[in-house]
Amino acid sequence: MLGKHEGSIGWADGLIEKLSFGLSETHPVRLFRYYSSDKKTFWHDMHYALELGILLSGKMRREYRKTQLDLVPGQVWLCNMWEPHGFRITQSPCEIVFFEIFPPMLVGTHFAEASDLNWSAPFYVTPQHRPQASDLQARQRLLTTARGLKRLLGRLGSAPVLLLRLRLLETLLLVCERWTPAQTPQKWSADSLERMSKAIQMVFESKDRVTTQFAAQACGMNRNVFSRMFTQTMGVEYAEFGLRYRISAVAEELHRTSTPLKMMAGCWGFADISHLHRCFTRYYECTPSDYRRRFSTDGKTRR
């Protein structure tokens, strides 16, 4: 496996846990249920974890930067690492179940009898090319799966880690049953993947920008080889991975602190407030100030 990011990060432990749902090598999958009777519900987010969800009831619009997907019961959505995404409830009441997944876990999952199966592939393609249950029979099968996941949550509260991993893989197999990626991703050696995990750690351990060149040198790799390996394996360029992490960290601070934007910009490796403003708006589709107001409690952000 790629290596873990929990327990060796130092100052960022709490922040990383918030941005990754507490996922790690030893707890690589979490399962959630969400219910809302409010048609006005809207949420916008970006996080390290991969996400796979199934709509149980109601209707929902999943929003990505350049794509909108309208879902009916039995249909699914997927999100890549640090992929800006949101949802709107278009018919209530609305109920969903969804997995949050530690990305290195899927990269490191292999079975000899299905050696060509790439568990990460459906997350890494663009939203409009991801697998979807388009016919009634497929939707009914996924609804049955979703109800089983809901019962699992209700019966066990916190389901055993290994059982959650098995349920995730079963769900992914069902979702991808009739889906084939446009290209077969290149496979990398365990040594190469271990080097890449070091590059991921470098992002998590620094508030400043980590360049692709610097990461490649630290991993003992040619820049172009490293860049290609990271993009093909993790589904996002290394520089973009780092930027999205820093933007997500800023969003978390906006939510829970009253730190001035100027101080935040300098702390997280942005040239100035204007630079932070441009990058933040690009992903969250609102200004940092608007985001802070949206999530403030009684007009004040939490310290």
CATH of the domain at 97: 2.60.120.280
Note the pLDDT tens digit of each residue in 11-38.
234 444 445 667 888 889 999 999 988 8
Tell me what pLDDT residue 134 has.
Answer: 87
Residue 6 has pLDDT above 90, yes or no: no
Tell me what pLDDT residue 68 has.
Answer: 92
Domain containing 113: what range?
10-175
Question: Are both 80 and 215 inside the same structural domain?
Answer: no
Question: Are both 263 and 168 inside the same structural domain?
Answer: no
- Which token pair is 161? 């880690």
Tell me what pLDDT residue 212 has.
Answer: 95
Question: Are both 94 and 223 inside the same structural domain?
Answer: no
- Length of the chain equals 303
Tell me what pLDDT residue 24 has.
Answer: 83
DSSP structure class, residue 95? E
Question: Are both 55 and 123 inside the same structural domain?
Answer: yes
Q: What are phi and psi of 235, to 5 degrees?
A: 80, 10
Tell me which long-range contacts 295-303 makes (C-beta under 8 A, separation of at least 24): 295/254, 295/255, 300/258, 301/254, 301/255, 301/256, 301/257, 301/258, 302/255, 302/256, 302/257, 303/256, 303/257, 303/258
Note the pLDDT tens digit of each residue in 77-117.
999 888 888 899 999 999 999 999 988 888 878 888 988 88
Q: In this predicted model, which residue has the larger pLDDT, 216 or 117?
A: 216
Question: Are both 158 and 222 inside the same structural domain?
Answer: no
Note the pLDDT tens digit of each residue in 287-301.
999 988 876 643 443
In a domain, 3, yes or no: no
In a domain, 130, yes or no: yes
Q: Is 185 left (phi over 0), alpha (psi -120 to 50) or beta?
A: beta
Nearest to 284 by CA among 12, 84, 64, 3: 84
Computed over every residue of the chain, the mean pLDDT equals 83
Residue 185 has pLDDT above 60, yes or no: no
Question: Are both 135 and 232 inside the same structural domain?
Answer: no
Tell me what pLDDT residue 176 has.
Answer: 94
Question: How many C-alpha atoms does 196 have within 13 Å on its Cβ side?
Answer: 27
In a domain, 1, yes or no: no
Tell me what pLDDT residue 191 has.
Answer: 65
Q: In this predicted model, which residue has the larger pLDDT, 26 or 43?
A: 26
In a domain, 182, yes or no: no
Tell me what pLDDT residue 110 has.
Answer: 83
- Predicted model pTM: 0.73
Note the pLDDT tens digit of each residue in 238-260.
999 899 889 988 988 898 889 99
Report for 42-46, 173-177, 198-202: range of highest mean pLDDT:
173-177
Tell me what pLDDT residue 155 has.
Answer: 67
Tell me what pLDDT residue 190 has.
Answer: 60
Q: What total number of domains does the chain contain?
A: 2
- The 10 Å CB-count burial string (b at 16+, else e) for 271-301 is eebeebbebbeebbeeebeebbeeeeeeeeb
Amino acid 256 reads R
Q: In this predicted model, which residue has the larger pLDDT, 147 or 23?
A: 147
| Averaged pLDDT for residues 66-80 | 94
